Structure 1
Amino acid sequence: MRRARLALSLAAALATSVTAIPTPYNYEQAPLAAVESPGFVFGHPGQRVNVSLYVMSRCPDARMCESVFEDVLKHEGILDQVDLKLEFLGDIDRHAAYGVDCMHGDVECAGDAHQLCLAAHTPLEQFYAALSCMNYGNFPGAIGTIALTRRCAETSGIDWWASGVGKCVEGKRAAMVGRYTQRLAALTGEGYEPRPKEWDTEDEDAPLEHLGKEARLRLADSVRHTKKVGVTKSCTIEIASTLKHDKTRRCVVDGGVWKGCDDGHTAADFVRVISKEWKALNPT
């Protein structure tokens, strides 16, 4: 009976933290710097080549360029040559469920935020494995649901709670309950469900899920950055350059068509350009 009451109390506590739709939030007064997180830039700026993918998580064009970069990152040595980050398109709207208006709805905003959390708290190789998992199959499918994000994270070897991804996505209270149930399961040798199974749906039409404070801040910060640099198309690829006069190599996928890609748009082309820029940054 004590164990049953404990399980019920845990479920009740978690329900209040993960099922409520968030209230409007003043993002302008809560800069990302206030979030205790390592940030979502990989590697060591100044020695590696900065590569930015400007995307929307449920956009077919984003899936197309992310698929190409999956092959880029598989090339020997490239992981050590790039600082790769994702930035997202949208409009700041304090009245929206997550503080941002996204082209493909609130569930896309959640997907954008989930991917930012993964990027912030995991190594590039693991992050991209989880991203590829989310893009696999009946795209866009359940992108934006916690169930899919967690399944892809754990499939990629990411510990949902220990990594910090779960706390970023679901919030501090959910993380406390989740970590507690993990420890309890380890002590008792019995499995515990930190969330009732009926909540773990990969249905894109399911009610909106709670989004943690860090995730909301990262999403708003990314959208503001994208606006600031003037990117309007998903997917836009930017590679920082020390060899070109305008300091940037840009390539766009728009409606399934590659545009403005002076250096080519295959994985081999991107590998060649990144390696060339890396050698310019690191002369022997």
Structure 2
Amino acid sequence: MDEFSHLLGQPRAAQTNKARYGVRRLAAILAVAIILVFAVVATVMFRPWTLPARTALRHGDRHTESNVDRLVEDPTAKGEKVLVELFVMSRCPDAVKVEEVLSSVVKSVYSIMDVQLNFIASLNPNATFGADCKHGDAECRGNIDELCALRHRSDLPSFWRFLLCLNSHIEDIGSGDLSLKCASGAGLDTAAFLACSEQNEGRSLFKQSAENAQFARVSTSATVFINGKPRCVEDGDWYDCPGGHAPGDFIRDICAAYKGSNPRPSICAQYKPTTLVVDDGY
């Protein structure tokens, strides 16, 4: 009997040892899996992610983004037009003065020029519109409305009609009612304009325009650049305007700077280039 029991006990012991080995093996596998999970989690949490740097698009940059996030168009890449940049604030009397002078310029040579608005403001992610404006949030809203009108214009003269309409009621710039009235009167696509001004597109345009002003190191409203080079400043009075600041002076310089293949407007024949004109800037 004892011998028989001894013989029976051997396979049972083997099975027990095998089971114990299986348990130890499973525990080792689980331990390794847990260590790997913790390693992956730690890598994700503490890896020093690097966000792609966003370079402010400034006057004349040829490489702009191609989707809704393409915040600033490059007019010189379309039709080789002369780029006129305004560094302004929408409720600034000096900006209104410059824009009034340029209204005659736009009427005369809009076919060979384009305009970029760069608004002077201090970027602040906690501000209502993403920046602090000198004349308050109403100005920030006015900046956005002007950028959206420029983005969704049918042509440059229609945008300028919108701009002059706003400027004629400078104390109300930033009012949605005034902006909508001016957009409709100027013949803009009001649906596209409202969608831009009331949603993220307008704020993104505003943020980029403020970055452009900072990149160019311009803090005075109103400052005019032509093809990426300073041309004139109006700040209580005109200065740094070696080529003059009358409408004809700007027309002359834009005509001289135009290097495109399309014919110049006939008015260009009335102006002779001077040594002060701004070249293409590249």
> Which residue number corresponds to residue 90 of structure 1?
121
> Which residue number corresponds to residue 251 of structure 1?
232
1:218 is matched with which residue: 205, 209, 229?
205
Gaps of 5+ in 2: 1-52, 57-63, 264-282
1:128 is matched with which residue: 135, 160, 172?
160
Structure with the larger helix share: 2
> Which residue number corresponds to residue 142 of structure 2?
111
The one-letter code sitting in structure 1 at the alignment partner of 2:103 is E
The one-letter code sitting in structure 1 at the alignment partner of 2:123 is I
1:42/1:124 contact within 8 Å kept: no
Partner Cα separation in structure 1 for residue 244 and residue 104 of structure 2: 15
1:38/1:120 contact within 8 Å kept: no
The SS at the match of 1:251 is: strand
Aligned CA distance change for structure 1 residues 283 and 95 (closer, same or farther; 3 Å): closer
The SS at the match of 1:104 is: coil
Give the count of matched residue pairs: 201
Partner Cα separation in structure 2 for residue 219 and residue 38 of structure 1: 9
> Which residue number corresponds to residue 68 of structure 1?
101
> Which residue number corresponds to residue 237 of structure 1?
224
The SS at the match of 1:64 is: helix
Percent identical: 33
Gaps of 5+ in 1: 1-27, 171-211, 241-246
Considering only aligned residues, what root-mean-square deviation do their CA atoms show, in Å?
A: 2.5
Larger radius of gyration: 2
Partner Cα separation in structure 2 for residue 63 and residue 73 of structure 1: 15
Higher RCO (CA 8 Å, separation ≥ 6 residues): 1
> Which residue number corresponds to residue 270 of structure 1?
250
1:41/1:83 contact within 8 Å kept: no
Partner Cα separation in structure 1 for residue 262 and residue 170 of structure 2: 42
Partner Cα separation in structure 1 for residue 147 and residue 202 of structure 2: 7
> What is the Cα deviation at residue 43 of structure 1?
6.6
Partner Cα separation in structure 1 for residue 260 and residue 188 of structure 2: 32
> What is the Cα deviation at residue 35 of structure 1?
2.5
- Write out per-residue CA displacement over residues 118-157 of structure 1, whole angstroms, 9 at most, x where no aligned residue: 0011121211110111111xx4221011111100010111
Aligned CA distance change for structure 1 residues 154 and 283 (closer, same or farther; 3 Å): closer
The SS at the match of 2:126 is: coil
Partner Cα separation in structure 2 for residue 224 and residue 154 of structure 1: 30
The SS at the match of 2:241 is: coil
> Which residue number corresponds to residue 145 of structure 1?
175
- Write out per-residue CA displacement over residues 145-201 of structure 1, whole angstroms, 9 at most, x where no aligned residue: 11111000101112311xx1110012xxxxxxxxxxxxxxxxxxxxxxxxxxxxxxx
> Which residue number corresponds to residue 280 of structure 2?
none
> What is the Cα deviation at residue 44 of structure 1?
4.3
Partner Cα separation in structure 1 for residue 209 and residue 219 of structure 2: 13
2:215 is matched with which residue: 223, 228, 231?
228
Partner Cα separation in structure 2 for residue 252 and residue 99 of structure 1: 27
